[in-house]
Amino acid sequence: MDNYLPLASIDLSPLDAQALADLQQLAAESMGWKPLGEGAYLHQGDGEENVIHVVGIPDTTMAGLNVLLLT
């Protein structure tokens, strides 16, 4: 696992918009994020937490947080 880079550290600028959206979808779903609709995913980390963080890039460091991903 030490050889993997966080998604945020990879230069994705050469990709077109559809390829980037596909990568973001795969990354979110591979981390257990639930799709809510096109371009929206939810990660429920703590059912007792009343805060939902809204982000544009999924990251494994958010594992304990309630996060809404909008792509």
Report the helix count and the strand count for the chain, using DSSP H and E: 1, 4
Pure H helices in the chain: 17-30
Write the CB contacts of 27 (distance below 8 Å, at least 6 apart in sequence).
Answer: 7, 58
CA distance 35 to 41: 4
Express each pLDDT in 30-45 by its tens digit: 777 788 887 788 888 8
Tell me: the pLDDT tens digits for 3-62? 766 766 777 677 777 887 787 778 777 777 788 887 788 888 877 878 888 888 767 777
What is the model's pLDDT at position 7?
64
Q: Measure Cα distances from 13 to 46, 58, 59, 63 in Å.
A: 33, 17, 18, 26
Domain ranges for the chain? 7-70
